[in-house]
Amino acid sequence: MRELWILTKLQLSALFGINKIRHMRNSDEKKIGKRSLGSLIAMVVAMGYMSVFYSYMLARAFQMFDTLPTLLGIMAAASSMLILMFSIFETKGVLFGFGDFDIVMSWPVSVRSVAASRVLNMYAYNFVYAFLLLLPAGVIYAIMAAPPLWFYPLFLVLILLLPALPTIVGALLGTVLTVFTARMKKNSLLNVALQMVLVFGIMFLSMRSGYAFDNPSQLASVGTAINAQIASMYPPAQWFQSALSEGSMISILWLVLTTLATVSLLIFWLGKNFVSINSRIKSKPRGETFVMRRQAHSTKSAALFSREFKRYLSSSLYVVNTAFGNVMMIIAAVVLMVKADAVLQYLEMPELKSLPALAPFVFGWMVSMASTTTSAISMEGKSLWIIKSLPVSAKEWLAAKLKVTLVLAIPSILISATLTAIGLKSSLMETVWLYLLPMAYIFAFGVFGLWLNIRMPRMDWVSEAEAIKQGGATMVSVFVGMAAGFAPAILVGLTGSALIAPIMFVVLVVMAILMWGSLVRSGETRMLKLH
């Protein structure tokens, strides 16, 4: 038990620069650690605010029709689906294939303790999401329903239990994908494809169960149906709801036993297979041998771009986390082209006038999530010395990273804008903004990602997940992108003004130019300080 505690404590202390703040003597390193911690706090505040808002709106609707306990079940299901998807992404890099595997396994600790500490690390990170979604829902429910005193301690206990099952299931699915593709050629691309299919499949099933929310006035007649859907889709969410709203001992028992059983089985299985799976992941794919090919010459910019693009494709976690926005945008465009009327009915927009004006901002938000630059500098990691030793300027190095984002996003924007314009039968100016505004977003957020990442780098990562998902630059960019996409969209919806799109376009372009100028001026100095 002591081994498990020490290993878990070491991993958790490394999250978000906490160790740098506590132990580093270098003032620059401490500043980076404080920025990362500050970005974590900002993320928690932003997510907490959004969670409070949505929980309150749902609670008001459910309370009107005497179905308030359904709030607990819905938020439990939502947090579990979110954790499930994140756990699938995090398996390779957190549970398996982490950078210090050889060092950790050389320590005088048992394999089972190492495996259990990695699982607990995943659970602790996922618990943050569950806490931010479930705590506001529980507080709002308690204010509106005035439950008995036993509700409060039980609620805190069940919040601790609920994230465990989706974490374990996600880890198992991620393990299957990782092992299945580990020794195949082009395993990273195959892993990306399988993860995308799995995640969008989960999203599709989740969205299909959401028909009951098309019209809040229908909640009175479908309250029972909603609970039945939650129970069939994810029983632990229904157990969570029943335990807290009815005090059901059977539901509490099911949650406790299911959690303990799945955690125990996973740790037992990992204790026997942990080393073999990691060895399989780190071994060379079957039939892959080095062959000296004809050496090709290229310009510095082409060589740097090729290097960046290959590094991007080599990490399935990197690709999935950034390609998600582009893929989601294309899927949305296909839906708008094929079933525009159904979408309008779902959004309660009887006319087409609003949607073509809103679409560019929604696409802008989606492509802002597709920027690869928020972790591009951090991904250099221990290989940073290579780029420092090359005869290239910081401007050329940063431009190569920006090109990766643009090369991936621009074709997606062109496809999505064309399909959307056809589906919505948009006017000439609406079509122009469908193309130009998302391009302005991706250019601005591509530069913004570099501007942030060179100020908040995460160069000492052990697993790629630390650089890609836990970096301060990534968190800041996600929430700024959300605000930059939704705020003007809300203004368009409220005012119907045609001036908001050109104003936003100018703002994005000017901000991108100013930030790029700042990068060019200070890039060399900041690049040399990275280590």
Spell out the domain ranges in the chain: 2-211+222-282, 300-529
Q: What is the pLDDT of residues 163-192, one digit of tens each?
A: 999 998 888 888 887 777 666 555 566 666
Closest to 518 (Cα-Cα) out of 450, 440, 445: 450
Residue 207, classed as helix, strand or coil, is helix
Contact at 8 Å (CB) between 366 and 489? Answer: no
Q: How many CB atoms are closer than 10 A to CB 199?
A: 19
Q: What is the pLDDT of residues 116-164, one digit of tens each?
A: 888 888 888 888 888 988 999 999 999 999 999 999 999 999 999 999 9
Structure tokens at 250: 């059977």
Segment 363-384 shows an average pLDDT of 92
Q: How many CB atoms are closer than 10 A to CB 40?
A: 18
Contact at 8 Å (CB) between 327 and 411? Answer: no
Decide if pLDDT at 208 tops 60: no
Decide if pLDDT at 323 tops 80: yes
Predicted local confidence at residue 147, as pLDDT = 92
From CA 311, how far away is CA 400, in angstroms rounded? 12
Decide if pLDDT at 344 tops 70: no
Decide if pLDDT at 6 tops 80: yes
Decide if pLDDT at 295 tops 90: no
Predicted local confidence at residue 212, as pLDDT = 45
* CA distances, 239 to each of 72, 197, 263 (Å): 10, 29, 18
Predicted local confidence at residue 401, as pLDDT = 95
* pLDDT > 70: percent of the chain: 81
Cβ contacts of residue 64 below 8 Å, gap of 6+? Answer: 219, 220
User: What average pLDDT does the structure give for the chain?
Assistant: 82
Decide if pLDDT at 211 tops 50: no
Residue 512's pLDDT band (cuts 50, 70, 90):
very high
Decide if pLDDT at 307 tops 60: yes
pTM value? 0.74
Residue 349's pLDDT band (cuts 50, 70, 90):
low
Q: What is the DSSP letter of 371?
A: -
Cβ contacts of residue 180 below 8 Å, gap of 6+? Answer: 194
Segment 390-412 shows an average pLDDT of 94
Reduce the secondary structure of 33-98 to three states and give it as a string: HHHHHHHHHHHHHHHHHHHHHHHHHHHHHHHHCCCCCHHHHHHHHHHHHHHHHHHHHHHHHHHECC
Structure tokens at 237: 């969410």
Residue 220's pLDDT band (cuts 50, 70, 90):
very low
From CA 127, how far away is CA 132, in angstroms rounded? 8
Reduce the secondary structure of 501-515 to three states and give it as a string: HHHHHHHHHHHHHHH
Segment 381-397 shows an average pLDDT of 89
Decide if pLDDT at 213 tops 50: no
From CA 464, how far away is CA 37, in angstroms rounded? 18
Residue 24's pLDDT band (cuts 50, 70, 90):
low
Segment 347-363 shows an average pLDDT of 73
Which range has highest mean pLDDT (33-42, 44-53, 434-443)?
434-443
Q: What is the pLDDT of residues 235-272, one digit of tens each?
A: 899 999 999 999 889 999 999 999 999 888 888 888 78
Cβ contacts of residue 263 below 8 Å, gap of 6+? Answer: 119, 164, 168
Contact at 8 Å (CB) between 329 and 412? Answer: yes
Contact at 8 Å (CB) between 266 and 171? Answer: yes
